[in-house]
Structure 1
Amino acid sequence: MRDIAAETGVSIATVSRVLNDHVNVSARTRELVLQAVERHRRDDTPPGAVHVRCPYLLTDYFGLIVSSIAETLRLHGMRMVLDAGEASQRDDALSTLPDQPGIGSAILILPPEEGAQLLALSRTGFPFVVVDPRTPPPPDVAAVSAAHFAGARAVATHLVELGHRRVGVIAGPEEWLASDARAAGHHAAFAAAGVLPARQRIRHVEPTTDAGLRAGGELLDAADPPTALVCFNDKLAVGALRAARARGLRVPEDVSITGFDDIDLSRATTPALTTVRQPLAEMGRIAVTQLMRVLDGHRPEALHLELSTTLVVRDSTGPART
């Protein structure tokens, strides 16, 4: 009451009379006080929880991002509602978000929906941020991802410098933004060396270990097999390692293999994987920072942030065999 009185320039007694609906208060003063009361009510109401949607199994990749988001939201005093697992890949997931009780905003991790659906959600005024977008996000939607092109170019350049010219590519799904960016990075490095992977040495697969085993086996069984395999992620690279081992090939003496992500798995293989480190935890932290700015009414100056990646050279790459 004291704050409202100071804000409106009336006495505490007048504020009391308004709140108790006394008649001896002018209509203008009553309206002034009630508007101030409503502003204080909104300011004192805790913001709705942040809906964190990750429609995939919380493996080491997604688990690192979600854990970082949870820890950062806690620092901001925000509550989190987690919707994870493949069961959350339902058609109406985005359209129903603004109507969910107690939910005030969202962080969407690799959303499977098309950009048009994200744009439709944005036009409702519902605040959200996208982490690792699957497709190019609409211009006015805040998004955070890694520098896929630069990371892929770095690892391909590493192979080129080791003398590799026959390189097999085990790429991710063709419709993914990260797949396109990494393919462009690989091609940029190979083109600079005067070579490009032949079409028959490229496989587009789901990013799983089993898929890496199958695709790696197909490439290594070719009449003119590649001297190196560059993989979309570490799990595919682990499958490729298994394929090489099953054929009696030594890594890296007979074939070099690279991954992408630098999850714990990359350090547990024999040999340890050469890979590209994505700042997964930082992606989660930056997503929360972007969301806080949106909730504060600011339009982030850089809507689409790409965080730098780092080439990590380990034992799975070596000079091309002659």
Structure 2
Amino acid sequence: MRQGPTVRDIAAQAGVSIATVSRVLNEQEHVAPGTRELVQQAIDELGGRAPRRRPSRAGAVFVRCPYLLTDYFGLIVSSIAETLDLHGLQLVLNAGEAAQKTPVLSTLPTRTGIAGAIVVLPPEPAADLVALQANGFPLVVVDPREDVPRDIAAVSAAHFAGARSLTAHLTSLGHRRIGLLAGPDNWLASTARRAGHVSALADAGVLLESQLAIPGEPTVRFGFQAAQRLLGMRDRPTALVCFNDKVASGALTAAVQLGMRVPQDVSIGGFDDIDLAQATRPALTTVRQPLGEMGRIAVGLLVRILDRHRLDALHVELATELIVRSSTGPAPR
């Protein structure tokens, strides 16, 4: 039996992007009439039927979070699960670090009983997400690791503003030599938070010295090792800004082992405001991300896509909040 043209075939024939063909096939409104006509003409010229649109709300939602579901990820996935239940949608969960090695995104359009997907900090390249959406498969990305096109629905926290508020808090306390325990260089959140840090330093008339910024995996171990390195310098920083609360807890341990008092000798700040931030001694000053709301917004976006509603704001950034506790204080003289 002769198969109909693929989305890629139609895009090449019409001279438009795969994403544009996907929007036309899914009857989305924000496509110019002339462009819609070009795509339909290409379908007619190629013969056969266009790829069949997926029925609205047909099946479960595939949630991919290839990490251990503790703290940060656990809060997001729990919120997604609760909100899906409120909408009467079932959840198929793909989680755990071992799942990072399993290529599942390309298989989703052919899986029976799956209506759409929510992917959390996907390790796959952005091109894989673009290909999935181009196939007409509904998806939402939570906290994208890389830049994704504007027409792929995504929700994240305001990383730039959050990091800027933390560093501004430290400069207001007189700190000028501030170490940065950054996240991985190839993460979108790392880039945005570094930019926020640099912006706040610039407001205080300070440039970020390259030797004071150390990138690494967001773990307790990295925080401990990086803090030991920075706090062991002759002209050591008086404060440390950490990528997340786990990194900050490692930095706290390193400071104590070096015989330093927090915050009298060195101030330390984190990001996320997970339970760990209140369990450390002293309790961590940190930037609160609305993790539960991120999950709820992601489900809301996906439901609207499944119901074929028009989405004008496909990238949603949720406000963060600086939570000041006892791990930060005035710069030592």
- The reply to whether TM is greater than 0.5 is yes
* TM superposition score normalised by structure 1: 0.85
Match of 1:128 in 2: 139
The amino acid across from 2:90 in the alignment is R
Structure 1 Cα separation of the partners of residues 81 and 93 of structure 2? 9
**1:232-256 deviation line (CA, Å, top 9, x unaligned):** 0000000000000000000000000
Structure 2 Cα separation of the partners of residues 110 and 299 of structure 1? 25
Match of 2:43 in 1: none
**Does the CA contact (< 8 Å) of 1:251 and 1:316 recur in 2?**
yes
Runs of 4+ in 1 over 3 A off after TM superposition: none
**In structure 1, which of residues 173, 176, 181 is the aligned counterpart of residue 184 of structure 2?**
173
Structure 1 Cα separation of the partners of residues 263 and 80 of structure 2? 37
2:327 is the counterpart of 1:284: no
User: How many matched pairs?
Assistant: 279
**1:91-142 deviation line (CA, Å, top 9, x unaligned):** 6321011112211110000001111111100000000100000001112100
2:189 is the counterpart of 1:193: no
**In structure 1, which of residues 300, 303, 306 is the aligned counterpart of residue 314 of structure 2?**
303
**Does the CA contact (< 8 Å) of 1:228 and 1:255 recur in 2?**
yes
Q: Greater shift after overlay, 194-203 or 281-290?
A: 194-203
1:90 Cα offset (Å): 3.0
Superposed, which structure 2 residues align to 1:88-99 within 5 Å? 88-90=99-101, 92-99=103-110
Q: Greater shift after overlay, 88-97 or 111-120?
A: 88-97
Structure 2 Cα separation of the partners of residues 87 and 93 of structure 1? 12
SS in 2 for 1:306: strand
* TM superposition score normalised by structure 2: 0.82
Structure 1: segments with no counterpart, 5+ residues: 1-41
SS in 2 for 1:101: coil
The amino acid across from 1:165 in the alignment is R
Match of 1:157 in 2: 168
SS in 1 for 2:298: helix
Bigger radius of gyration, 1 or 2?
Answer: 1
**In structure 2, which of residues 226, 235, 256 is the aligned counterpart of residue 224 of structure 1?**
235
**1:152-193 deviation line (CA, Å, top 9, x unaligned):** 000000000000001000000000000000000000000011
Structure 2 Cα separation of the partners of residues 146 and 235 of structure 1? 18
Match of 2:66 in 1: 55
The amino acid across from 2:199 in the alignment is A
2:269 is the counterpart of 1:236: no
**Does the CA contact (< 8 Å) of 1:118 and 1:138 recur in 2?**
no
1:89 Cα offset (Å): 1.3
2:258 is the counterpart of 1:247: yes
**In structure 1, which of residues 261, 264, 267 is the aligned counterpart of residue 272 of structure 2?**
261
SS in 2 for 1:143: strand
The amino acid across from 1:262 in the alignment is D
Match of 2:81 in 1: 70
**Does the CA contact (< 8 Å) of 1:159 and 1:317 recur in 2?**
yes
SS in 1 for 2:101: coil
**Does the CA contact (< 8 Å) of 1:49 and 1:79 recur in 2?**
yes
1:47 Cα offset (Å): 2.3
Structure 1 Cα separation of the partners of residues 316 and 197 of structure 2? 21
Structure 2 Cα separation of the partners of residues 313 and 182 of structure 1? 18
Identical pairs, percent: 65
**In structure 2, which of residues 157, 162, 168 is the aligned counterpart of residue 146 of structure 1?**
157
Structure 2 Cα separation of the partners of residues 284 and 245 of structure 1? 36
Structure 2 Cα separation of the partners of residues 102 and 70 of structure 1? 17
SS in 1 for 2:106: coil
**1:63-97 deviation line (CA, Å, top 9, x unaligned):** 00000000000000000000001111136321011
